[in-house]
Structure 1
Amino acid sequence: MKDSYQTTPSISALVITYNEIGYIEKCLESIAFADEIIVIDSYSTDGTYEYLLQQENVRVIQHPFKNFTAQKSYALEQARNDWILFVDADEVVTEQLRDEIQETLAGPQTHDAYWFYRQFMFENNRLRFSGWQTDKNHRLFKKSKVKFTDRKLVHETLEVNGTSGKMRSKLMHYCYKDFEDYKGKMLHYGRLKAREAFYKEKHFNYLSLYVKPFWKFFNNYILRLGIMDGKKGITICYLNALSVYERFRELKRLEKKNELAYYLVMP
């Protein structure tokens, strides 16, 4: 009988960062099992870069941030291995998920990418609803079979040339450290979404400015059961709606700026 031993493929773990002190420590600890860890830092100012330089098992590269899709595509280019584990700086791979990843890659390769469901954490408490309960992302995949679509600047989408499976264990996402931190993230996402809409030649209107943020809050807080998360649910649903409001406010600003530039260059 022939030996059925199969070598487990090497994994490159990738992370992008900007001012992630308080998050990145747990993240790096949880992915220490990877054969290679690469962090692409967008010139952090809070000590993140200096901290990363002290980590012997981490290769850190500073690269200017254009948008999430461009930054993650750049990170992907740096990886030496075909199998990629891509996590955000505020995410933690649990022991159960780590074991499942290793067991999956040690067995017959039936998929080219894997979806991870995420467990959202509000400070150190679980956020059970508020629209996040079905959230999932591709986090483990073959570099040779994927690319990040250039149609999105935020909430980047991975295009997989092959099949996708699902992990049973969840990825822990520490989305909320404090109010100002999460608010800053949501406003930043809103502005990037506005740029994305502007490039797609979508136009601002006042109806969307007021109706869509209200719908976002109502959908997440009532229909997606954010009310069951108590005060945490109100806070998260409000800030997510604020991101939508900022998107249309920024879209209006971009259109006005474009109109001004047009009139300035007219003969």
Structure 2
Amino acid sequence: MNRIEEQKLSVLIITFNEERYIKSLIESIDFADEIIIVDSYSTDSTTEILKSFPNIKLIQKQFIDYTSQRNFAIDQAKNDWILFIDADEYFTPKLKAEIISTINSKDAVSAYFIYRVFMFKNRKLRFSGWQSDKIFRLFSKAHCRYTEDRLVHEKLIVNGKTAVLKNKLIHYSFASYSEYKMKMYKYGILKANEKIKKGQKPVRLLQFLHPVYTFLYQYLIRFGFLDGLKGITICYLNAYSIFIRYKEFFRITSSKI
């Protein structure tokens, strides 16, 4: 991927009721050549905030699942280089500089992982499975697409080489217990529908074993206990999402019998 001229960057964000962080996020991506927001008809002040920025292209689209929403956003981008971020993430000056330098490098590859610092109630969470959290955020549109067999926890399919950026994103995942619990509940519902879409069959024993395993793995093996009460909370809520997944899975499949 030889670089002859300065590369343009499209920043993509999907939103729904993101009034808490969206203004500071937009202000932190002043290095973008294009900013596209795909909003799922927010009911808070998200769209009003976004409309105050004249350089943003705002599109409203009914939410079906995360993968289709992301692929739709990619299709709207004018530039090949895509930076896909969440509304609760924040860029440091060092990460901005690295991104610009990377896409203009003659040695640029098809896609880049970015590590994230997980924030719990505005304080850094050091363990509980999040210490190695990294995700594809920067990639070439010509070589990447999100696989359509996932409805949540999207997977980017990369045709080419990948690498990892040195600097990290700040991830303000949630500000309260109830907020994160609702998020995990919604993820569980989507994962249940994903299993049905794939034609999988429910196994009753997993409804209990899988959540217990998830909690113990993150709390013990991934050192959640070192995060104190925060670690217990995160590990429990992640296990709760697994439980909801199987509960909904069984509910849907039993209703079809």
TMscore range, shorter length: over 0.9
Number of the residue aligned with 1:103: 101
Number of the residue aligned with 2:58: 60
Aligned identity (percent) is 46
1:205 counterpart = 2:206: no
SS of 1:234's equivalent in the other structure is helix
Q: How far is the alpha carbon of 1:177 from its aligned partner?
A: 1.0
SS of 1:87's equivalent in the other structure is strand
Contact 1:152 1:196 in 2 (8 A): yes
Q: How many aligned residue pairs are there?
A: 255
1:81 counterpart = 2:79: yes
Number of the residue aligned with 1:94: 92
Tell me which amino acid in the other structure corresponds to 2:60: Q
Number of the residue aligned with 2:127: 129
Number of the residue aligned with 1:195: 193
User: Which of these residues, 235, 244, 259, is aligned with residue 242 of structure 2?
Assistant: 244
SS of 1:165's equivalent in the other structure is strand
- Structure number with greater Rg is 1
Q: How far is the alpha carbon of 1:26 from its aligned partner?
A: 2.1
Deviation per CA, 1:201-256, whole angstroms, max 9, x where unpaired?
Answer: 22223211111111111001111001111111111111111000000001011102
Cα RMSD between the aligned structures?
1.2
User: Which of these residues, 65, 69, 72, is aligned with residue 71 of structure 1?
Assistant: 69
Q: How far is the alpha carbon of 1:105 from its aligned partner?
A: 2.0
1:182 counterpart = 2:180: yes
Deviation per CA, 1:113-164, whole angstroms, max 9, x where unpaired?
Answer: 1111111001211011101111211100111111110111101011111111
Taking structure 1 as the reference length, what is the TM-score of the superposition?
0.93
Deviation per CA, 1:15-60, whole angstroms, max 9, x where unpaired?
Answer: 0001111121222122121000000000111111122122112111
SS of 2:115's equivalent in the other structure is strand
Contact 2:23 2:50 in 1 (8 A): no
1:51 counterpart = 2:49: yes
Q: Unaligned regions of 5+ residues in structure 2, if any?
A: none
Tell me which amino acid in the other structure corresponds to 1:19: N
Distance 1:256 1:45 in 2: 34
Distance 2:256 2:20 in 1: 39
Number of the residue aligned with 2:256: 258
Taking structure 2 as the reference length, what is the TM-score of the superposition?
0.96
